[in-house]
């Protein structure tokens, strides 16, 4: 199988190194995405980058690297990005796995952007972005301590040395999905300490089978063996 691995906020394709290695050694192919402005593409960063730029990044990997009927994995905010790309390529993707991520709904309405937030949260986010962070979305120590509690001291130091500010529109822009989206096969990986209670997420309604990992928000880094095993198991259900 071919796997298209899309990282969440602040990360580049580097975050998938261990998971990709496991999948590759099992005979699969992996395509680890680095979005414009992130990771080793940080020199292209701009506060004007939009979710459409991120979509273009992934579409270009599909066009030029040509994974075959890939399983698309989206982590964190990239759940909406993975959903949009899968929707655009609904006739050629094998399925979609949401890794502790935003989970778009089966609707043709605009969703997954700050336009759908309440006014207080939206205003606080925009004030932080523009007055404190210069047009980007930064990972704070407070947030890291809440969802990154399973990092060793060594992993934490390496992680914090490699993250990059996220162009805020990757978070704030909404997406619109087509009537074809509900027909795409989907699965979920939930994390016990990733911010949302897995039981609450399950009760709210999922779109396919799921696995739960005992980890914080970044299991591809702290629990790569379990993450790779969960991805493979769920992909086989497609």
CATH assignment at residue 230? 3.40.50.1820
Cβ-based burial of 13 (10 A; exposed 0-12, middle 13-18, buried ≥19): buried
pTM over 0.75: yes
Find out whether 143 and 195 touch, Cβ atoms under 8 Å: no
| Spatial distance between the Cα atoms of 149 and 129, rounded to a whole number of angstroms | 25
Which two structure tokens, joined as six digits, stand for 30? 């992996």
Cβ-based burial of 28 (10 A; exposed 0-12, middle 13-18, buried ≥19): middle
- Residue 137's pLDDT is 95
Find out whether 192 and 186 touch, Cβ atoms under 8 Å: no
Total domains, the chain: 1
Cβ-based burial of 9 (10 A; exposed 0-12, middle 13-18, buried ≥19): buried
Neighbours of 89 (CB within 10 A): 18
Residue 84: domain span: 2-235
Residue pLDDT tens, the chain, 238 long: 999 999 999 999 999 999 999 999 999 999 999 999 999 999 999 999 999 999 999 999 999 999 999 999 999 999 999 999 999 999 999 999 999 999 999 999 999 999 999 999 999 999 999 999 999 999 999 999 999 999 999 999 999 999 999 999 999 999 999 999 999 999 999 999 998 899 999 998 899 999 999 999 999 999 999 999 999 999 999 9
């Amino acid at each position: 199988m071919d796997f298209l691995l899309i990282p969440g906020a602040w990360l580049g394709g580097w975050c998938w190194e261990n998971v990709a290695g496991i999948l590759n050694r099992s005979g699969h192919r992996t395509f680890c995405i680095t979005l414009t402005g992130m990771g080793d593409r940080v020199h292209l960063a701009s506060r004007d980058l939009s979710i459409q730029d991120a979509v273009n990044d992934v579409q270009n990997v599909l066009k030029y690297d040509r994974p075959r009927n890939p399983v698309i994995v989206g982590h964190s905010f990239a759940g909406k990005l993975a959903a949009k790309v899968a929707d655009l390529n609904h006739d050629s993707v094998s399925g979609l796995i949401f890794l502790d991520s935003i989970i778009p709904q089966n609707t043709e309405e605009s969703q997954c952007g700050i336009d759908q937030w309440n006014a207080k949260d939206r205003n606080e986010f925009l004030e932080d972005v523009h007055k404190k962070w210069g047009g980007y979305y930064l990972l704070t120590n407070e947030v890291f301590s809440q969802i990154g509690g399973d990092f060793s001291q060594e992993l934490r130091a390496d992680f914090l040395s490699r993250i990059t500010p996220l162009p805020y529109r990757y978070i704030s822009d909404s997406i619109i999905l087509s009537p074809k989206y509900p027909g795409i096969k989907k699965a979920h990986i939930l994390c016990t300490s990733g911010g949302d209670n897995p039981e609450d997420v399950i009760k709210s309604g999922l779109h396919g089978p799921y696995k739960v990992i005992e980890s914080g928000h970044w299991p591809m880094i702290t629990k790569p063996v379990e993450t790779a095993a969960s991805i493979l198991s769920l992909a086989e259900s497609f």
